[in-house]
Structure 1
Amino acid sequence: MPEEYGRDMVLPLNSYDDVEDAVDMVQFAEELGYGYVSMGETSGRSIPIVMGLLAERTDEIGITDDVLSPYSRTPSTLGQTAATLQELSGGRFRLRIGASSPALAERWHGVDFERPLRQVREAVEIVRQVQSGDRLDYDGDFFSPEGMAFEGPVPEEPAPVDVAALGPKSVEMAGRFADGWVPQLLTVEAIEERMEDLKRGAELGDRSVDDVRVSLNFRCGALEDGERARQYARQHVAFMVALYGPYYRKAIADAGWEDVTEEVRARWHDGDREGAYEAVPDELLDELVAAGTPEKAREQVERFEAIDGLDTVQVSFFGPMGEEERRETLEHLAPE
């Protein structure tokens, strides 16, 4: 079974031309003692298929996604996916649900990005019904499946259902309904504030916040060439601010960096990529990511791990990094 409390890793699946190379990377992380591997899905490979392959080709590492959404698959399909991957992995799977982004919902899936908070909540509840094996009976604002039941083997231990969220209301919802919360690109202070939202949600759900696994998706570059790692970090943060959905930009702006986010976005959309990179100051990097020499990166990871209520940091990478640099980072930040 996976290590629930330690360090996890994020597989940049679309960086690999050959899926076998991605499998090798996950096996490498398993040897280093990482607890879970997660991967995201945009318009590339269908990750449930890849997760099924990883379930067969690994023994101990947990498997999860970052994230699947009710805009890309119906909640009932998400429930089927959770039950099937829980079976294939021998109980090592967690399902993560999130709203994703308006761009993916509307431009790739061709659906309206409407009331994401409500749709995510309904998806969490329906996934639980599917995994119970009972006939579905759900009357939601968006989804109302009824009268049919999952026909496969019902998991002895249903796959936990986590929620990826940033805003206060969505984090409260995670605390109230989900088994875990997955934040990213938040400062220490912002995470601590959101922990209060998570606790409030848990209280509303008449449950303990200690039962909600908090896993931070944390971008890392731990390289002997520390300046190279920091340049990768600038490029990645600039990309996230300029293009990767409005939620991340707003979260960084709300942490006191609104002027920086506006400048980065303006320069990027004016075609000045280098200027956008340069507009990301060292101080912001130190608040959001772990980038630099192995010693500096470890210090940053440990600073976030010290947050009360945070269960695990999942080591993610900066987009421009190569495979050798990703492996070097995994080695330097491996769980002790």
Structure 2
Amino acid sequence: MTVGVALNATDTDNQIDASVRLAEEAAAAGLRSAWFGQTFGADSPQLAAIAGRAVPGLQVGTSAIPVFGRHPLTVAGQALTAQAATHGRYHLGLALGTKFLTEGGFGLPFERPVARLREFLTALRQLTETGTADFHGELLTAATPIPARVPGADAGVPVLVAAMGPQALRASGELADGILPYLAGPRALAEHIVPAVTAAAEAAGRPAPRIVALVHGVVTDDVDAVREKATEQLAFYEQIPSYARVIELSGGKRAVDAAVIGDERTVAEEVRRYRDAGATEVVFAGTEIAGDADRLRTWDLLGSLAG
């Protein structure tokens, strides 16, 4: 099982320089992958490309780019460029996004998100696999009057979706290479998420999907203080129906209930529970919440588990 981390260098003097330093530290700790979130700030495919090029051997990815406010042509160009820069070590993560950010930020109606995801994935796969597209859907058009190839990029960038609901899981199983569930505990994975996406992939004649479980957690001795910080940090997700549902399916009431906070033994046992629930890869996010010492302590543990 691959073990990686999500890198967050937003609270630094230079996010690009800091991201490269963190990627170097992650690789030195034995971690196999580094993932970058997408907000309204830094461009995550560029961050992944820069960090991946600076740290040979480290797999890099985005988790995840919302399909609203983007177009398959531009996202394919970003993904292929990042893949060429890293010589095939880039993984593209997509997301449905949220009503709050889509309508509040882009001024776009958050309508038919799964239908948009399906069309986005269909057009995107044409572009990343062939460098051309001729897709005309209800919601999107993607055509290439001139080629959209990036020399040096292998055909077929791995595409994963931050899917957790039944319809999104079905679309992801049929059209993507895997999923990036966040705040979905082992119970939700084993009983709901993994069976649904696996069945959809099988029905579509696709290989077994990758299950890249994003876990919010850290190794620390100051469990109560860190849990209090995490409660505040994760409260935003409780307002989003898809996250609220998966937290409940995981057996929790608050988002923090899905976090993994404790000593090395506690965290290692939870990582194994994710593996047993069907996760093919585990990526820890939020490891910076308790400071550098606990972050490095967490990375050392995760690196040993990856080995």
Return the TM-score normalized by structure 1: 0.83
Aligned to 2:270: 300
Amino acid in the other structure paired with 2:229: Y
Q: 1:151 Cα shift?
A: 4.3
Flag the 1:134–1:219 CA change in 2: closer, same or farther, 3 A: closer
Q: Are 2:187 and 1:189 equivalent residues in the alignment?
A: yes
Further displaced range: 52-61 or 146-155: 146-155
Q: Are 2:81 and 1:46 equivalent residues in the alignment?
A: no
Structure 1 CA distance, aligned partners of 2:73 and 2:48? 18
SS at match of 2:51: helix
Q: Are 2:129 and 1:132 equivalent residues in the alignment?
A: yes
SS at match of 2:65: coil
Aligned to 2:199: 200
CA contact (8 A) 1:230 1:292 kept: no
Aligned to 1:264: none
Structure 1 CA distance, aligned partners of 2:144 and 2:262? 55
Aligned to 1:13: 9
Structure 2 CA distance, aligned partners of 1:33 and 1:317? 18
Aligned to 2:65: 68
Gaps of 5+ in 2: none
CA contact (8 A) 1:227 1:292 kept: no
Aligned to 1:231: 228
Q: 1:91 Cα shift?
A: 0.5
CA contact (8 A) 1:91 1:157 kept: no
Aligned to 2:237: 240
Q: 1:59 Cα shift?
A: 0.4
Amino acid in the other structure paired with 1:296: T
Q: Are 2:289 and 1:324 equivalent residues in the alignment?
A: no
Amino acid in the other structure paired with 2:106: H
Please provide the CA RMSD for this pair: 2.1
Amino acid in the other structure paired with 1:225: D
Deviations 1:56-102 (A, max 9, x none): 21101111001012213201111111111110001000111111211
CA contact (8 A) 1:222 1:229 kept: no
2:175 maps to which of 171, 174, 177: 177
Q: 1:254 Cα shift?
A: 4.5
CA contact (8 A) 2:64 2:162 kept: yes
CA contact (8 A) 1:133 1:154 kept: no
Further displaced range: 158-167 or 198-207: 198-207
Q: Are 2:21 and 1:27 equivalent residues in the alignment?
A: no
Aligned to 1:250: 245
Flag the 1:233–1:297 CA change in 2: closer, same or farther, 3 A: farther
CA contact (8 A) 2:83 2:154 kept: no
SS at match of 1:55: helix
Aligned to 1:162: 160
Structure 1 CA distance, aligned partners of 2:296 and 2:288? 14
Structure 2 CA distance, aligned partners of 1:44 and 1:323? 23
CA contact (8 A) 1:232 1:319 kept: no
Further displaced range: 32-41 or 86-95: 32-41
CA contact (8 A) 2:83 2:157 kept: yes
Aligned to 2:212: 215
SS at match of 2:134: coil
Aligned length: 302
Q: Summarize the alignment of residues 64-143 of structure 1 with structure 2, pairs less than 5 Å apart.
A: 64-143=61-140
Structure number with bigger Rg: 1
